Amino acid sequence: MTDEQKMLIDAKTKIIKALAHPTRLYMVEELALGEKCVCKFVDAIKADFSTISKHLLILKNAGVVQDEKRGQQVFYKLRMLCIPEFIACIGAAVATDAHTKSQMMIRHGQKNSAKETAEA
Q: Residue by residue, what is the 3-state secondary structure of 52-104?
A: HHHHHHHHHHCCCEEEEEECCEEEEEECCCCHHHHHHHHHHHHHHHHHHHHHH
| Residue 115: per-residue pLDDT | 52
Asked if residue 71 has pLDDT above 70, the reply is: yes
The tens digit of pLDDT for each residue in 76-118 reads: 999 999 999 999 999 888 888 787 887 888 877 765 554 554 5
| Residue 74: per-residue pLDDT | 93
3-class DSSP state of 119:
helix
d(Cα 44, Cα 116) in Å, to the nearest integer? 50
| Residue 106: per-residue pLDDT | 82
Neighbours of 94 (CB within 10 A): 10
Least reliable range by pLDDT among 13-27, 40-54, 76-90, 102-116:
102-116
